[in-house]
Amino acid sequence: MIRVPARVPYAAGLEWQRRLARARIDGRLSSDLLLLLEHEPVVTVGRGVRPEEVRSRVGNVLEGIPRFEIERGGDVTYHGPGQLVGYPILDLHDYRQDLHWYVRALEGSLIEALEELGLHAFRVAGYTGVWVGDPLSGPIAAGGVRKIASIGVHVSRWVTWHGFALNVTGEALGPFGGIVPCGIAGVRMTSLETEGAVWAGGEVARAVSSGFARAFGARLEMSELAELEEAGLGLVGE
């Protein structure tokens, strides 16, 4: 597990993930990684969105924020300060070669992490991601359930990249009013802070790591960026 202390510009993070995934595929990287970081503000557009739809989804509110069209599944997502982003670089040959299982396991990681932070979260059938609120409240558009984490992954030769984004502070939500996140009309985004959770410094990343370890039955070791840099696989552009 690697926690990147500084805010990472999206382009640099994307390029880094791609390099790491390639290295994992061809064996230069011998172990799986979980990257945990925060991005500079950015809007990403997944493969689920047709080019002609982008404008109606993104609107004018986010003009001036860089926009990336990327190879993960899913729709339109905002990343920025206050959001903990996780990029697992996993060789699924060692787990299960099953993308539905993988996405459900990522959801499970976050549900466990949130439980540890005192927030009950759950899945909503047919809507990938992690949700909080009252599952009895009927349609998503009613706002009784709110989305706290988004998921979108990409796999090549069963090696994963992209991953999840967990809204931690209210700052992570600011611009969501301007877009229809993940293409679900009326969906309300929320954050740990908005839901009234309290945590000590570093606790969220710790909870996410241990939730991840439990959901995947994996053992996580803290790793230093320097080790990757020595192998020529460091984050550049910082």
Partner 1 sequence: MATKVVMAQLSPTMEEGKLVAWKLAEGDPVSQGDIVAEIETDKANMDVEAMGSGVLRKILVQEGATVPVGTLIGVIADPEEDIEAMLAEAAAAEPAVAEPTEEPAAASPTADLPPGVPTARDGRVKASPVARKMAAELGIELGTIPGSGPGGRIIKQDVEAAAAAGAPAAGAAVAGAAARTPGAVGIVRPPALGEGRLRDERIEASQMRKAIARRLAESIGPVPHFFLTTEIDMERALDLRAELNAGLDGFKIGVTDILLKTAAEALVRHPEVNASWEGDVIHHHGRVDLGIAVALEGGLITPVLRDADRKGLRQIAEETADLIERARARKLMPEEYQGATFSISNLGMFDIEEFTAIINPPEAAILAIGKTRQKPVVEDGEVRVRRRMRVTMSCDHRVVDGATGARFLATFKGMLENPLALVL
Q: Which residues are catalytic?
A: 182
* Entry field: residues in the chain: 238
59-72 burial, b if ≥16 CB within 10 A, otherwise e? eeebeebeeeebeb
**Is residue 82 within 8 Å of 190, Cβ to Cβ?**
no
Q: Tell me the β-bridge partners of 149.
A: 130, 166
Whose Cβ is closer to partner 1: residue 16's or residue 164's?
164
Q: How far is the CB of 216 from partner 1 (least distance, A)?
A: 15
Q: Where are the alpha helices (DSSP H) in 34-170?
A: 54-58, 99-116
Whose Cβ is closer to partner 1: residue 4's or residue 145's?
145
| Residues making contact with partner 1 (CB under 8 A) | 46-48, 50, 71-74, 93, 96-103, 120, 122-125, 128, 133-139, 142-144, 151-158
Q: How far is the CB of 155 from partner 1 (least distance, A)?
A: 4
> If you search the block for the tokens 């609107």, which residue do you land on?
59
Tell me the chain's radius of gyration from C-alpha atoms: 17
Whose Cβ is closer to partner 1: residue 37's or residue 151's?
151
Could you give the CA distance from residue 221 to residue 212 in angstroms, rounded to a whole number? Answer: 12
Q: How far is the CB of 39 from partner 1 (least distance, A)?
A: 19
Token readout for 25 is 């595929």
Token readout for 38 is 């925060």
Q: How far is the CB of 45 from partner 1 (least distance, A)?
A: 13
Whose Cβ is closer to partner 1: residue 96's or residue 177's?
96
